[in-house]
Amino acid sequence: MAGVFQVMALGVSALNEGDIDPSFMAKLAKIATTEMISSKELNADWQRAAAGLLVSIGSHLPDLMIEEIFLHLSGPSSALPAMVQILADFASANAIQFIPRLKGVLSRVLPILGNVRDVHRPIFANAFRCWCQAAWQYNMDFPSLSPLDADVMSFLNSAFELLLRVWASSRDLKVRTSSVEALGQMFGLITRTQLKTALPRLVPTILELYKKDQDIALLATCSLHNLLNASLLSETGPPLLDFEDLTVILSTLLPVVCFNNDIKENSDFSVGLKTYNEVQRCFLTVGLVYPDDLFTFLLNKCRLKEESLTFGALCVLKHLLPRSSEAWHSKRPLLVEAVKSLLDEQNFGVRKALSELIVVMASHCYLVGPSAELFIEYLVCHCALSDHNRNDPENSKVRIGAFCPTKLRAVCEKGLLLLTITIPEMEHILWPFLLKMIIPRSFTAATATEWRPSRVLCNQKRRN
């Protein structure tokens, strides 16, 4: 049965507009919905295939397809989740066709939300996520045509309150996570007044999800980023959150950076990388509004010398420094002193993050005076590392990624060469200081690495 519906869906999708027979399409839609409501089972292959056929019909005749769905929204409760899932799939596949019909969909779905059982709530929450995403897409494609009139806004506000106050506090983890994901797409659509009122409940609800697994941390971070955007970057009013309100959020996010930075050898690479990037976007959003406060916050976390917080703060500083160089220009001495205080850290993860930050600082002219040679010596020192230089894992309170001397050495070698080739301002610092670094016995293992940038500098001197 699934194969038949899949073939039919492909055939309908391939039809030209002139080949569409509305009466025949209506019969196909009837067949698909009849098959779907004949079973109480959800997400069977044949059921998903039948839904695909209805979505294909909707791409040509959206009103016909949606009216067929509406016939079953007031029918037996077993059919409701399947019908709502079809509307979600249609919104994801064709936002332009769906959004003008959003008011009709919401007017029929909202009255039944209060009676939805826990087992079906993730389906309904996912549908609201898809519908709100479609609204965002529609606004991007047609910025002058706002589909969210007063009625639609009223419907969305009602759904938002239900999701926040009831579903997001469910004991069922799947219901909670799907509700938070849906709320994340609503933040920029509801009124600022409603968002401000909801913040005291929203923030703890989202942060609570970070105690779960990596997939849940990703969706929590995506929702959190949307919340920060809606709360801090609105063009219609001042920020809804003071920096003091944000500290609990930022303190929760720093360890997330720690555990998602270096996961290339794990099967969760894509999830961890997405989470890491979303966390950085959260910090960037805060930095756009509170650059000085964020800088002070990150430096204070570095001074605590708690490995996970220090590592996270260094990674965030590395990410934000190129994007906040103007706002942080006057704070260069503070950052230099903070980095100098960390040069004796033994954890390989912290040392790797520190080395990467030093390279970024050099590219923005932070390396001047005696501290510049100190930082270059730090990079050269780590170019001399071997696998025998492992520190005792038991001395590390928190395991930060899968870092080892080899990875740290590679970062420093690439960084040193990058400084030599791409940053002309570093020439007077590196030459002849790099040649002096060849002499100490402790740096002998780094001789080959030092020689390469030294040769580049020597050639530059000859040309000049």
pLDDT, one tens digit per residue, over 10-67 is: 888 888 888 888 999 999 999 888 888 776 665 567 788 888 999 999 999 999 999 9
Cβ(64)–Cβ(29) below 8 Å: yes
Sign of CA dihedral 116, 109, 178, 241: negative
Cβ(152)–Cβ(103) below 8 Å: yes
Is residue 263's pLDDT more than 60?
Answer: no
The answer to which of 41-55, 117-131, 280-294 has the lowest mean pLDDT is: 41-55
Whether 410 maps to a domain, the answer reads yes
Cβ(276)–Cβ(260) below 8 Å: yes
Going by C-alpha positions, the residue among 37, 61, 63, 40 that lies closest to residue 51 is 37
Rounded to an integer, what distance in angstroms lies between the CA atom of residue 358 and that of residue 314? 10
Rounded to an integer, what distance in angstroms lies between the CA atom of residue 13 and that of residue 183? 32
pLDDT, one tens digit per residue, over 19-33 is: 888 999 999 999 888
Whether 402 maps to a domain, the answer reads yes
The answer to which of 35-49, 98-112, 140-154, 223-237 has the lowest mean pLDDT is: 35-49
pLDDT at res. 351: 92
CA angle, 398 then 223 then 102, to 5°: 160
Mean pLDDT for the stretch of residues 286-310: 93
Whether 367 maps to a domain, the answer reads yes
Which burial class, exposed, middle or buried, applies to 146 when counting CB atoms under 10 A from its CB (0-12, 13-18, 19+)?
exposed
More confident residue, 430 or 157: 157
Whether 202 maps to a domain, the answer reads no
Whether 171 maps to a domain, the answer reads no
Residue-number span of the structural domain to which 418 is assigned: 331-464
pLDDT at res. 392: 46
pLDDT at res. 394: 43
Torsion of CA 155, 159, 160, 162, to 10 degrees: 140
Amino acid at 223: S
Is residue 156's pLDDT more than 90?
Answer: yes
Whether 300 maps to a domain, the answer reads no
- Does the model's pTM come out above 0.85? yes
Whether 355 maps to a domain, the answer reads yes
Which burial class, exposed, middle or buried, applies to 431 when counting CB atoms under 10 A from its CB (0-12, 13-18, 19+)?
middle
More confident residue, 156 or 452: 156
Ordered DSSP codes for 8-67: HHHHHHH--GGG--HHHHHHHHHHHHHHHHT----S-HHHHHHHHHHHHHHHH-HHHHHH
Which residue's entry shows tokens 């903070």?
Answer: 338
Total residues belonging to the chain: 464
Give Cα separations from 453 to 14, 58, 375, 383, 424 (angstroms): 59, 62, 16, 13, 13
Mean pLDDT for the stretch of residues 337-345: 92
Q: What is the CA radius of gyration of the chain?
A: 28
Which residue's entry shows tokens 């503070």?
Answer: 334
Rounded to an integer, what distance in angstroms lies between the CA atom of residue 135 and that of residue 133? 5
Domain count, the chain: 1
Is residue 291's pLDDT more than 70?
Answer: yes
Is residue 396's pLDDT more than 60?
Answer: no
Give every CB contact of residue 259 below 8 A, 6+ residues apart in sequence: 272, 308, 400, 401
More confident residue, 406 or 66: 66
The answer to which of 34-38, 283-287, 400-404 has the lowest mean pLDDT is: 400-404
Query: Half-sphere exposure (CA, 13 Å, Cβ side) for 139?
Result: 12
Q: What are phi and psi of 36, to 5 degrees?
A: -70, -40
Which residue's entry shows tokens 């194969």?
Answer: 3
Going by C-alpha positions, the residue among 17, 45, 44, 49 that lies closest to residue 32 is 49
Mean pLDDT for the stretch of residues 117-140: 95
Mean pLDDT for the stretch of residues 201-221: 91
The answer to which of 4-13, 164-173, 417-426, 439-448 has the lowest mean pLDDT is: 439-448
pLDDT, one tens digit per residue, over 224-250 is: 999 999 999 988 889 999 999 999 999
Which runs of E-coded beta strand occur in 227-295? none
Give every CB contact of residue 358 below 8 A, 6+ residues apart in sequence: 339, 367, 375, 378, 379, 415
* Predicted confidence band of residue 426 (pLDDT cuts 50, 70, 90): confident
Q: What share of the chain is helix, strand, coil (3-state, %, to 5)?
A: 75, 0, 25
Amino acid at 101: R
Give every CB contact of residue 354 below 8 A, 6+ residues apart in sequence: 314, 339, 342, 343, 345, 378
Which burial class, exposed, middle or buried, applies to 102 when counting CB atoms under 10 A from its CB (0-12, 13-18, 19+)?
buried
Is residue 295's pLDDT more than 90?
Answer: yes
Whether 158 maps to a domain, the answer reads no
